Amino acid sequence: MYEVPDAPGTSSPGGSPDGTEISIAINNVGKIFQSDNKETIALDGVDLSIKRHEFVAIVGPSGCGKSTLMRLIAGLTFPTSGSVAVDHVVVDQAITNLGIVFQKPVLLEWRNVLNNVLLQVEMRGLNPKDFEDRAHELLRSVGLSDFANSYPYELSGGMQQRAGIVRALIHDPPLLMMDEPFGALDALTREQMRIDLEELWLATKKTVLFITHSIDEAVLLADRVVVMSPRPGKIETIIDINLERPRGLAARKYPEFEKAVDRITEIFLAKGVLHGGRNRAKPV
């Protein structure tokens, strides 16, 4: 089990500095993009509440507004209609008390791993020296303790992404948002990262919003899976995942896993996101 220390000057993992409950409330949100006199409806009538410490995965086809929804929560863009609130405060500016992990880790090639991680606190005007012990402990927890002085080009894709996750966690944010963080990894590395992320989450109990195209990944990681429709993005259903933790590799064998995967697959088949392959040649 991972053991992750508190960041200097913060509360215990999963809490906020003032001790209030962290939650996300998305109320009837719509988002329209305008470009060259063309109107694109990215999201339409989205309602979603996420409780503190929850691990929520959003799964849906490309272009359904998953990443747009994440940017709305972070305050990087704003809804055309409806409202988004974090910790009971309406989001009307960029939120700083969170961590974001993207599909690509975006590490600076001229900085070693430790200094890439500490860049997060430097940009926040904090003293990186105060965070060095935590950085080393987090790197140890994700198997990178021997690579603190290595440069990105010396790391595999999975190792780079681990460094990106540590960078997102270095300031001990109560909310972690992950946008297809394993999408660029090979299958084996992706599976190991999924197991490692669950272990890290069990140790920290951050509130996590995880965006993915993978049905299996969503079911294996989340407490609840939000299933979105093709654009304009709407929530088709929200599925509670009743699998014991830690789930590890064995969870794929459980009937609950198969039932949840089948239910999501049926939704995507009905929406035309997936096709059953009825015209495939029969085996001889």
Encode pLDDT of 142-171 as tens digits.
999 999 999 999 999 999 999 999 999 999
Confirm whether 3 is domain-assigned: no
Confirm whether 107 is domain-assigned: yes
What does the alpha-carbon distance between residue 193 and residue 191 come to, in Å, rounded to a whole number? 5
Domain count, the chain: 1
- Please list the residues that pair with 84 across neighbouring strands: 26
pTM for this prediction: 0.87
Question: Which tens digits make up the pLDDT trace of 171-216?
Answer: 999 999 999 999 888 999 999 999 999 999 999 899 999 999 999 9
Confirm whether 252 is domain-assigned: yes
Average pLDDT over every residue of 54-66: 94
Confirm whether 8 is domain-assigned: no
Question: Which tens digits make up the pLDDT trace of 93-122?
Answer: 999 889 999 888 889 999 999 999 999 999
Confirm whether 2 is domain-assigned: no
CATH code (residue 87): 3.40.50.300
pLDDT category, 222, cuts 50, 70, 90?
A: very high
Q: Are strands 207-212 and 55-59 parallel, antiparallel or unpaired?
A: parallel
Q: Strands of 224-228's sheet, edge to edge?
A: 98-101, 175-179, 207-212, 55-59, 224-228, 235-240
Confirm whether 9 is domain-assigned: no
Question: Exposed, middle or buried, 151 (CB in 10 Å: 0-12/13-18/19+)?
Answer: middle
Q: Residue 67 pLDDT > 60, yes or no?
A: yes
Confirm whether 4 is domain-assigned: no
Average pLDDT over every residue of 81-90: 94
Q: What is the model's pLDDT at position 14?
A: 35
Q: Residue 218 pLDDT > 80, yes or no?
A: yes
Least confident of 151-155, 240-244, 263-267, 276-280: 276-280
What does the alpha-carbon distance between residue 84 and residue 22 come to, in Å, rounded to a whole number? 13
Range of the domain at 258: 24-270
Q: What is the model's pLDDT at position 2?
A: 47
Confirm whether 10 is domain-assigned: no
